[in-house]
A and B are shown apart, each in its own frame.
Chain A
C-alpha cells in the first residue's frame, strides 16, 4: 500500500506563473516531509523540507504547505522558471519514537515550465 501518493504524474505551466505540486500521505505517524528535485541523468537533490510542527516553510521561490488534518502537503513554486522543469518527488519519514531510518517516496511528478 502506497503511503505517499503523488496522484498527478505531470504538470505543465507557463513561465512566471505558479506551480503547485501536491502530495498526500496515509501514515499519520509521518512527521517530517521533504521534496526532492530530479533532472534527467542526475540523482535527486534535496529542495525543501517541513516538520509537522509547522504548516509552512519558505525558501526563496519555493514554499511547502502542510495540512496535517488532511494528510496533505503541497509545494508552490512562484514564479515558475524553465529551469524548474524536472521530476519532483515527495518524501516522508517518522522522526519521533526514536527516529526513522529511511524515507518513503512518492512516485514523482514531472513539471514542465514553458517559456
Chain B
C-alpha cells in the first residue's frame, strides 16, 4: 500500500532498554522527519533527513539515534530508554521539506 507507515503502533519498554521505531514510505520522498508530541509542547523535531545517508539534528535529539541507508526507511532508535521519552512519535515525509509533510499514524511509546 502506498503511503507512510509506522511500526509498532504501541510499545511498552523498560528503562534502559534499546528500542527502535520504524518508519517506511513508498513515495520516494527525499525528506523524512521524526517528531515527538507531548502535552504542552506540541510537535518537536527530533531528527530529520534530506536524503539517504544525510541526517541532521532537530530541536530535541539527545538520547536518539537515526539512520537512513535507504530512501524509504528512517528508523529512530532510543539507545537507552528513559521515562522522559514516553511520548507519541510521528514520522513524516516530504518531497520538498518546507512545502509540507505527510505524517504517519504515530507510535505511542511508554517507558516504565
Could you tell me which A residues sit within 8 Å of B by CB distance? 6, 32, 34, 36, 41-46, 49, 89, 91, 93-95, 99-103, 105-108
Residues from chain A with a CB closer than 8 A to the CB of B99 are 32, 93, 95
* B74 / chain A contacts, CB cutoff of 8 Å: none
Residues of A within 8 Å of B67, CB to CB, are: none
Given A41-B106, A107-B42, decide whether A99 and B96 contact each other with a Cβ distance below 8 A: yes
B21 in the interface (beta carbon within 8 A):
no
Say which size band chain B's interface belongs to.
20 to 34
Give the contacts of B47-63 with A (CB-CB under 8 A).
Answer: 48, 50, 58
Show the binding face of B for A, using Cβ within 8 Å: 31, 33, 35, 40-43, 45, 48, 50, 58, 90, 92, 96-106
Within the assembled complex, what's the spacing in Å between the Cα atoms of A12 and B50?
A: 39
Question: Can you list 29 A-B contacts with CB-CB less than 8 angstroms, sorted by A residue number?
Answer: A32-B98, A34-B100, A41-B105, A42-B105, A43-B92, A43-B103, A43-B105, A44-B43, A44-B90, A46-B100, A49-B100, A89-B43, A91-B100, A93-B97, A93-B98, A93-B99, A94-B98, A95-B99, A99-B97, A101-B97, A102-B48, A102-B98, A103-B97, A103-B100, A105-B42, A106-B42, A107-B40, A107-B42, A108-B43
A64 to nearest B CB, angstroms? 13
